[in-house]
Amino acid sequence: MPMPRRTTLAHLATASALGVLLTACQSSTPAGQTHPQPASASPQQQSTTTPPRAATDPGLTPRERLLTLAGNVGGTPADAATGLPYTYLHTQSWTRATNKITRTDLQRWRRDADDSGREVTRRLPDVPGLAHRPTQAERDDFATARRTTTPYLAGDLKAYLTEPLPTDATALASALAPRELAGRPAYPRILVHGVTGLATHQYLNQDQRRTTLRVLAAVPNIAYQGEQTDLAGRTGLGFTLTADGSTTQLIIKPDTGELLSAQEQVAGARPGLFSCVLILDRGHAVNDTETPSTQP
């Protein structure tokens, strides 16, 4: 029902009177005195924000360090070089073969579309025995070693895992190591081998590197070593795994999450070097003769 006009006028009159009263109260405030305002944060309070966590922060577990590395993975110029037909990798490796150590410098161009490509190999003479330690002098000797070029037809130069790789760490771990072995002593070692094999056989982009770090974070008994320098003089964060009679060391570049090197020593009846690999360069190329960068 519509409100009577007389009642409406009465309300308006009351509101007007209240307005006059409030104005009078405000004007009676002593000079220089202001009305209280809501409390605001002090400049000190406003500037205190929690800094991003770093993988080198004290007190973190190895798992937390690897997950922090994964969360902070940055991009590389090669990540942006999409659309180029070839994946390029350059590695140097020392590998046990029965009672000797083989020494190999390998450049590999793989055409992603059809698994064709080319490899250029430089081999130094094998070293007898298993106690050999790789040296910088050997790295220098690769430059003058005899070159062998091997072409590969379509389908002959397979990737370590078929692309696209799983984006979930648990799914990628299953692709790298059989899940039925998860309770066996050898499982952590197999899983780390898988991550190393993946990084030394195909290019891993920013998201894929992030996922591999999350795989490593779930490896039982992985340990943190602090900053380490590899044989190529590059500094990264070191992680080790001792399992199934061997100790493996990984060195990871903290800003990009790239695996720089991996080395494994075995114990038991025939102790000594099992493998050592340096990943010197990786990226994409327009053909099977050019390299994407000039890293050492």
Q: Is pLDDT at 220 greater than 70 in this prediction?
A: yes
* Selected residue with higher pLDDT from 171 and 17: 171
- Going by pLDDT thresholds of 50, 70 and 90, the confidence category of residue 52 is confident
Predicted confidence (pLDDT) per residue in 241-274, tens digit: 999 999 999 999 999 999 999 999 999 889 999 9
For helices 187-201 and 169-176, give the axis angle rounded to 10 degrees: 100
- Going by pLDDT thresholds of 50, 70 and 90, the confidence category of residue 32 is very low
Q: Comparing 25-34, 75-84, 268-277, which segment has the lowest mean pLDDT?
A: 25-34
Q: Look at the chain and count its residues.
A: 296
Over residues 193-216, mean pLDDT = 97
Question: What is the structure's pLDDT at 93?
Answer: 98
Over residues 157-180, mean pLDDT = 96
Helix (H, G, I), strand (E, B) or coil at 122: strand
Question: What is the structure's pLDDT at 41?
Answer: 41
- Position 24: which residue type? A
Q: Is pLDDT at 281 greater than 60 in this prediction?
A: yes
Q: Average per-residue pLDDT in the chain?
A: 86
CA 237/CA 251 separation, integer angstroms: 5
CA 192/CA 198 separation, integer angstroms: 10
* Selected residue with higher pLDDT from 213 and 51: 213
Over residues 86-106, mean pLDDT = 97
171 closest CA partner among 219, 212, 206, 135? 212
In sign, the C-alpha dihedral spanning 115, 295, 252, 233 is: positive
Torsion angle defined by CA atoms of residues 200, 201, 205 and 207, in that order, rounded to the nearest 10 degrees:
-80
Joined together, the tokens standing for residue 154 give 């379509």
* Selected residue with higher pLDDT from 241 and 23: 241
Question: What is the structure's pLDDT at 269?
Answer: 87
- Asked whether the whole model's pTM tops 0.85, one would answer no
Q: Is pLDDT at 239 greater than 50 in this prediction?
A: yes
Question: What is the structure's pLDDT at 53?
Answer: 87
Bridge partners (DSSP) listed for residue 102: 95
Could you give the strand order of the β-sheet that contains 147-152, starting from the edge strand earlier in sequence? 147-152, 116-128, 100-111, 86-97, 272-285, 259-266, 246-252, 235-243, 223-229
CA 284/CA 270 separation, integer angstroms: 40
